[in-house]
Amino acid sequence: MKLEHVIESQQFTVPLLMELFARARQMERVAARGGTRDYAGRIMASLFYQPSTRTRFSFEAAMYRLGGRVLSTEHAGAFSSEVEGEQLEDTIRIISGCSDVIVLRHHEEGGARRAARVSRVPVVNAGDGGGGQHPTQALLDLYTIYRERRTLDGLTIAIVGELDRGRTARSLAYLLGKFERVKIHFVSPPEVRMGRDILDHLDEHDVWYDLSTDVEPIAGEVDVIYQTRIRPDRVADGASLARCAIDERLLRRMKPDAMILHPLPRTVEIDKAVDGDPRALYFKQAGNGLFVRMALLTLLFERDDEEPDAPWPPQRRREDR
């Protein structure tokens, strides 16, 4: 099963996810021994129109661990020809001519799809717009859960926070809907509830979910609390922030083998006292991003590996001699 681009979570099938996770386990061993030189001839272009630390560093480290090289800019909107009006499509046409894969974070929803339409090399969506997707974050989130539980069927999860524009929460919901007997509790202040498009998708695929404003009543029944950022300026009632946050009091209500995940960065939604609890796996989760992104890059590069190489040096025709 080959990948051409990574644009959205919907494009992943369960068999493809399992193949990716198996490769991620292999990449754990590769990274532990310092990496490989198998992809020494490859170049990854890291093109970020919005600031990023975790995603950009994770992708760049993945490429270096595979033996490749990186061309990088974190402020592409300020330092590229976009400041002079160049369209994204023209930028991608140029960059795809000097790289083997493009990792793109764009400020417009649908930016990655626009890039993929004109690119000669694979494009990876590293986050697009305020309410788009962040599929590679969702893949590493799902891998973290799978790594701990050995299965995703029968999972009960609370996805908590600012969900209407939450790229990671939206992407993860699409992936969770592919598995059997999954139950999703969407917990958020009323003004930032999960979008209707995600709920309609889950309805279409007969996935159980509910909407609530308080994580405490369900804390004792979920296998995972997937906490996401809540910006206080988007919520009118300060008390509703507390109902969607994790502190030591909530820990006492949770199952002893539950998991607390967060795509990071966090603001006020997880008390730092939670960090020492063995169920708090968000830093391990971030580390898993390296292995998943290494695995993902190898899948993308396989598309090109199957294309026959032209002879080198080029053979001149007799009449050209």
- Count the Cβ atoms, other than its own, within 10 Å of residue 90: 13
> Rounded CA gap, 312 and 116, in Å?
29
Rounded Cα distance between 24 and 5, Å, is 18
Contact 8, 110 (CB under 8 A): no
25 vs 153: CA distance, rounded Å = 20
Residue 197, token pair as written in the block? 């498009």
For residue 193 the two structure tokens come to 């509830």
What backbone torsions phi and psi does residue 104 show, to the nearest 5 degrees? -120, 125
In the chain the domains, ranked by start, together with CATH numbers, are 9-133+287-304 (3.40.50.1370), 135-284 (3.40.50.1370)
Lowest mean pLDDT among 120-129, 184-193, 303-312: 303-312
Q: Which residues contact 315 (CB under 8 A, 6 or more apart)?
A: none
**235, 284, 236, 286: which is closest to 264 by C-alpha?**
286
Tens digits of residue pLDDT in 49-64: 887 888 999 999 999 9
**In the structure, what pLDDT confidence band is assigned to residue 72 with cuts at 50, 70 and 90?**
confident
Q: What is the pLDDT of residue 312?
A: 41
What is residue 58's three-state secondary structure? Answer: helix
% of the chain exceeding 70 in pLDDT: 90
Distance of alpha carbon 40 from alpha carbon 307, whole angstroms: 18
* Whether pLDDT at 217 is above 90: yes
Q: Which tokens sit at 245?
A: 């946050």
Provide the token pair at 118. Answer: 């004109």
CA dist., res. 46 & res. 69, Å (int): 10
Q: pTM of this prediction?
A: 0.90
CA distance 96 to 102: 7
* pLDDT one-digit tens code per residue, 231-254: 888 888 878 888 999 999 999 999
What pLDDT does 243 receive? 93
